[in-house]
């Protein structure tokens, strides 16, 4: 039998957006629960976050994620570390289901971030299942030591992944579909200064073939067929909002927001949002304060009976 929980506000997501919102809600004495398979979010992929005020030397993504994990504990945020399977609207609010828990909330804040876009080529799924292809560097890094790594993509993430691995991998190839890059100039300069990183332009991936302990890439280079052999592949060709687990009704409201709704979307899941940690945190704070205002304006609500800091 599932555990059942009723709360005023439920937050889904383990990244900076929901962490910020949940801490602010706890400070206001609101009864909440934060649900996520894990805490940290995609900020764990970042080699170095340099545009976050308060970190003059920058901060490694994993270190930043660890710091707000500790802050959630210190703030006393009730957390359920389970994967959310379904979310739907019910008469008294929202119902969230994991494999073990059912949560009913009056308000719902969703900050589930984004998921990587796929190449959609033959052999991709097999390579992923065989542990030869990854989409998140924090999952792949332990397998990259002294290896020949291919990173498919031409934006900030691809360049950041390469810099992240420069002192671990033997060789890194950034494989670009065209002769252009959308990466920041500062990242391009840093990559160009690293001896073991090369940039392969005009390489269109046709298919992937896992072979023994290698992965073979069939590529079209300027109209000519070519093969590349790598130990491991990272795919960094963009991301899309992560909302596949939501009901049709909630997705409809995502696409057509309602005025004075009790449903909020924060951080990278937001349409057309720039994927920056400071924006995600700002989203979280703004929505938390709006939610507190709505709740506390209701006659008779006195907050949760828990310690705040």
DSSP sequence for the chain? --EEEEEEEEEE--SHHHHHHHHHHHHTT--EEEE-SSSSGGGGG-S-B-SSTT-TT-B-HHHHHHHHHHHHHHHT--EE-S---EEEEETTEEEEE-SSEEEEEEEEEE---EEEPP---BTHHHHHHTTSEES-HHHHGGG-TT-EEEEE--SHHHHHHHHHHTTT-SEEEEE-SSS---S-HHHHHHHHT-TTEEEE-SEEEEEEEEETTEEEEEEEETTEEEEEEESEEEE-S-EEE--TTB-HHHHHHHHSPPTT-SEEE-GGGSTT----HHHHHHHHHHHHHHHHHHHHTSTT----SS---
Give me the pLDDT at residue 300, please: 56
Residue range 3-115+239-296, CATH number = 3.50.50.60
Give me the pLDDT at residue 52, please: 87
Give me the pLDDT at residue 307, please: 40
Q: Quick check: do 3-115+239-296 and 118-235 share a fold? A: yes
Give every residue of the chain whose pLDDT is below 50, as ranges. 299, 305-309
Q: Give domain limits for the chain.
A: 3-115+239-296, 118-235
Give me the pLDDT at residue 308, please: 36
Give me the pLDDT at residue 272, please: 74
Give me the pLDDT at residue 218, please: 95
| Domain 118-235: top CATH class | alpha beta
């Amino acid at each position: 039998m599932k555990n059942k929980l009723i709360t005023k506000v439920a937050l889904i997501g383990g990244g900076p957006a929901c962490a910020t919102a949940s801490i602010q809600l706890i400070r206001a004495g609101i009864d909440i629960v934060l649900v996520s398979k894990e805490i940290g979010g995609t900020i764990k992929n970042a080699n170095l976050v340099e545009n976050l005020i308060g970190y003059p030397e920058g901060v490694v993504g994993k270190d930043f994620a660890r710091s707000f994990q500790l802050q959630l504990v210190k703030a006393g945020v009730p957390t359920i570390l389970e994967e959310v399977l379904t979310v739907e609207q019910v008469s008294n609010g929202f119902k969230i289901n994991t494999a073990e828990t059912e949560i009913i909330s009056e308000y719902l804040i969703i900050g589930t971030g984004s998921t990587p876009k796929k190449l959609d080529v033959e052999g991709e799924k097999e390579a992923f299942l065989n542990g030869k292809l990854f989409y998140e560097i924090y999952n792949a890094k332990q397998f990259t030591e002294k290896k020949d790594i291919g990173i498919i993509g031409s934006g900030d993430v691809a360049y950041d992944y390469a810099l992240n691995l420069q002192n671990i991998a033997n060789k890194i190839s950034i494989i670009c579909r065209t002769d252009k890059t959308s990466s920041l100039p500062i990242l391009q300069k840093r990559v160009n200064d690293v001896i073991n990183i090369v940039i392969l332009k005009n390489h269109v991936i046709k298919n992937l073939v896992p072979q023994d302990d290698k992965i073979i890439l069939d590529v079209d280079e300027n109209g000519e067929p070519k093969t590349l052999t790598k130990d491991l592949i990272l795919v960094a060709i963009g991301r899309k909002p992560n909302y596949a687990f939501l009901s049709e009704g909630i997705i409809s409201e995502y696409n057509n927001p309602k005025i004075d709704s009790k449903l909020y979307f924060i951080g990278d899941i937001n349409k057309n949002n720039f994927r920056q940690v400071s924006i995600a945190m700002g989203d979280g704070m703004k929505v938390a304060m709006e939610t507190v205002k709505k709740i506390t304006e209701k006659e008779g609500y006195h907050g949760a009976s828990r310690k705040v800091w």
